[in-house]
Amino acid sequence: MGLIKLLYQDPVAFLILATLLLYSVILHEVAHGGVAYLFGDDTAKRSGRLTLAPLPHLNLMGTLALFLIGFGWAQPVPVNYSRLSHQRLGLFCVSFAGCAANILIASIAIALLQIETIRALPFLAKSLPILIYINITLGALNLIPIPPLDGSRIVMCFLPEQLNRALSRIEPYGFFILILLIVSGLLTPVIISVQKLIFSAIVSILDFLRLI
């Protein structure tokens, strides 16, 4: 894993990257809560989860996993989906917000790497590619429609209520199903395909923005 190797090669770059990665998972959760607030649910706000202070968000296992295997999570932000206005649109926007935050972070990092003065700074040249990879991975994995990942709720926006109830019943077992699929390698081709799709979309949008 490039992150562990970076700790030994360049501690300064590692500290910068560690901070950026922690805020990658924090912003993922704040995005969920912030969009929920815009759609009428203030549960996250009342729980003190719309802050950028790290402590209310950090999850020990999720933080360790982030640094050890390149995929982690923060404490899930509380959302009362029944309080969202425009139910299906609200559900879609709240669910997609976390992935969008990670994709935005990756986009900014990719744009920064196009700047020669940024590439000339060794600690950024080493840390930004890892930041890009992990944020794209976070976005890709969370888009997979397995409860409790965000992708499952995104899919629910387009399914009839009967299928939504069936999908909800899987949620208590979803984490174990996800781990089994990851360990077995069955999920790897899907994640790689979504990673490539996200990366291509980011590069295409940045190329378009440069043209205008």
As annotated, the active-site residues are 29
Task: Read off the tokens for 112.
Answer: 């920064």
HSE-up (13 A, CA, CB side) for residue 129: 10
CB 6, CB 124: distance < 8 Å: no
Question: CB within 8 A of 72, min separation 6: which ones?
Answer: 21, 25, 59, 62, 63, 64, 65, 66
* Side-chain half-sphere exposure of 151, counting CA atoms within 13 A: 14
